[in-house]
Amino acid sequence: MEVCFTLPDPAYEAYTWVYQDEHTPVSVTPLIADAPAPFGRESGRTGRPPRSICINGYNHAIAGAASPFGEAPSPQTVEEITRWREEWLPQVQTLAEQLTSCDPAAVSPGRWEQVLSDYDVEGGRVFAGVHRTAVLLARIAVERFQNAYAQRFGEERRPEALALLQGFPNRSMDRKSALWGLSRLVRSNARLSQALEQLGKPTDETSAGNDFRRVLEGVLDEFGHTTNMGLQDLPTWREDPAIPLALVRGYARLEEDHSPRAAASKQRETRLRMEEDLKARAQADPSVAALLPLLEMAQQFFPNLEDHNLLADQRLASAEDVFYYRRAELVSALEGGEVVFQEMIAARRTLQEAYREASPPRVLGNPMDDTPASDAPMVERRGEEVLRGVPASAGSYRGRALVVESLAGAARLVQGDVLVCTVITPPWSPYFALVGAAVTNAGGILSHGAIVAREFGIPAVVGTKNATSLIPDGATVTVDGTKGIVIVER
């Protein structure tokens, strides 16, 4: 089925619309596409285009648009950057409880549009509040520290600043460690291992099998709200534990020194050594001493990013056919009107599958001069091809490339593979204990994938724009995360 990407208004052709694959990497269903954006898509200014538009479920944002969360002042204290945990996390929990406890029978006729609108408004308020205070302030602190570090020690040492921000406890690490703990149960019991390898789940009623199911239930109680690519129409880990069980199966093949905690411990040790050196130099050098308060604030970025991802961004459950309703159709059905025929639902599912298999163009409208074309070829060089991106995590690694379009496809990953995907969102991070390197289409040095790659100490190149299209699945590649290149052997 052919999928076309067309701007909804010819007037929009004058602007540069950039595909936001880091935040909307996969096409969303009709119901989600119909819903108001959490921060509002409309500009509110007469004669101006909206800030972003949804085309076939993909989000395209106008280049140069202001932050959707508003302007944020430069933080002056650590407390400003951590305050969101006390101010906003309780509101996330309250909203989640409101949504899960909603009783449809208690909504009086004619009230559904208002009820849904109220949830939209409250959800947008909480969403914007969490992102503005948890991530935006911390990102400003990181950029300020990086710039000051580079100014003091030289631009060539800018990457060192990132190493000073790694190796902190966070909820994403807790999730990976919980899965690792399950894998140790499997690794120590041949029957459990055989059942997972052959059937994908434990089936025996031995004490080991019962212990595994008990621990798995605890993991799902704590992390079962994890979504698949953030797609609300797909089952969460609790609804279908196939993804966490596949991760446990992969982890069980690894020795203890591959544990997520071991990787984080190495980053922590490196950071502490660098901190000691910086503090020692600060005693005799005021310009170095001035970096220390900036560092303290910047170090909140990784915990804030990972904790908000897990605690705030993945708290919604999914359902079935409802996601293939349009918003107006859903309101009509809830008010006692006609439901959408199953034939239409099936057709929309088929269309959605086509959308999710399509690769949106990087840019719509009037491309800027510095916007790379989506089909730009790799550079040929002496029997190999070179793809360039952003150097996100230093080091070099050679291995088999596995091009993965979804988390379901990630089950094919084996130890030492090079993960090649559109973008790395929080649910992908447990796979970093398996892979030898990572390459993505989207992202920068502060994107989730870049940070997690540095945490695990594996090379990574992000922001290549089109690695998933240009790197053949199964090809042998060398990922140079220091230079920001990927060499594909022919």
What is the pLDDT, as a whole number, of residue 378?
Answer: 58
What is the pLDDT, as a whole number, of residue 409?
Answer: 83
The answer to the question of residue 223 being in a domain is: yes
For residue 428, is pLDDT > 90?
Answer: no
* pLDDT tens-digit series, residues 433-454: 999 999 999 889 988 889 999 9
The answer to the question of residue 161 being in a domain is: no
Q: What is the mean pLDDT of residues 32-55?
A: 69
How many domains, the chain?
Answer: 3
The answer to the question of residue 261 being in a domain is: no
Answer yes or no: do 446 and 346 share one domain.
no
- 474 vs 42, more confident: 474
pLDDT band at 154; cut points 50, 70, 90: very high
Q: What is the mean pLDDT of residues 395-424?
A: 91
The answer to the question of residue 146 being in a domain is: yes
- 405 vs 91, more confident: 91
For residue 31, is pLDDT > 70?
Answer: yes
Task: Look over the chain and give the mean of its residue pLDDT values, rounded to a whole number.
Answer: 87
* pLDDT tens-digit series, residues 97-142: 998 898 999 999 999 999 999 999 998 899 888 888 888 899 999 9
What is the pLDDT, as a whole number, of residue 157?
Answer: 93
Answer yes or no: do 56 and 135 share one domain.
yes
Give the structural domain span for 229.
Answer: 171-254
Answer yes or no: do 11 and 127 share one domain.
yes
For residue 183, is pLDDT > 70?
Answer: yes
For residue 21, is pLDDT > 90?
Answer: no
Answer yes or no: do 189 and 139 share one domain.
no
Answer yes or no: do 363 and 391 share one domain.
no
Q: Which amino acid is at 102?
A: C
For residue 66, is pLDDT > 80?
Answer: no
What is the pLDDT, as a whole number, of residue 317?
Answer: 44
Domain CATH code at residue 467: 3.50.30.10
Q: What is the mean pLDDT of residues 269-287?
A: 96
What is the pLDDT, as a whole number, of residue 43?
Answer: 45
For residue 239, is pLDDT > 50?
Answer: yes
What is the pLDDT, as a whole number, of residue 373?
Answer: 41
Percent of the chain with pLDDT over 70: 91
Answer yes or no: do 361 and 387 share one domain.
no
316, 338, 371 - which closes a domain: 371
The answer to the question of residue 125 being in a domain is: yes
238, 254, 270 - which closes a domain: 254
Answer yes or no: do 9 and 133 share one domain.
yes
What is the pLDDT, as a whole number, of residue 70?
Answer: 64
For residue 218, is pLDDT > 80?
Answer: yes
The answer to the question of residue 323 being in a domain is: yes
- 148 vs 366, more confident: 148
- 291 vs 312, more confident: 291
* pLDDT tens-digit series, residues 300-359: 998 888 888 777 665 544 457 889 999 999 999 998 888 898 899 999 999 998 998 887
- 312 vs 264, more confident: 264
Answer yes or no: do 68 and 145 share one domain.
yes
Answer yes or no: do 136 and 215 share one domain.
no
What is the pLDDT, as a whole number, of residue 85?
Answer: 92
The answer to the question of residue 358 being in a domain is: yes
Answer yes or no: do 42 and 19 share one domain.
yes
321, 349, 371 - which closes a domain: 371
For residue 372, is pLDDT > 50?
Answer: no
SS3 of the chain: CCCCCCCCCHHHHHCEEEECCCCCCCCCCHHHHHCCCCCCCCCCCCCCCCCEEEECCEEEEECCCCCCCCCCCCCCCHHHHHCHHHHCHHHHHHHHHHHHCCCHHHCCCCCHHHHHHHHHHHHHHHHHHHHHHHHHHHHHHHHHHHHHHHHHHCHHHHHHHHHCCCCCCCHHHHHHHHHHHHHHHHHCCHHHHHHHHHHCCCCCCCHHHHHHHHHHHHHHHHHCCCCECCECCCCCCCCCCHHHHHHHHHHHCCCHHHCHHHHHHHHHHHHHHHHHHHHHHHCCCHHHHCHHHHHHHHCCHHHHHHHHHHHCCCCCCCCCHHHHCCHHHHHHHHCCCCCCCHHHHHHHHHHHHHHHHCCCCCEEECCCCCCCCCCCCCEEECCEEEEECEEEECCEEEEEEEEECCCCHHHHCCCCCEEEECCCCHHHHHHHHCCCEEEECCCCCCCHHHHHHHHHCCCEEECCCCHHHHCCCCCEEEEECCCCEEEEEC
The answer to the question of residue 269 being in a domain is: no
What is the pLDDT, as a whole number, of residue 371?
Answer: 47
Answer yes or no: do 396 and 291 share one domain.
no
Percent of the chain with pLDDT over 90: 53
Q: What is the mean pLDDT of residues 169-173?
A: 89
Answer yes or no: do 415 and 463 share one domain.
yes
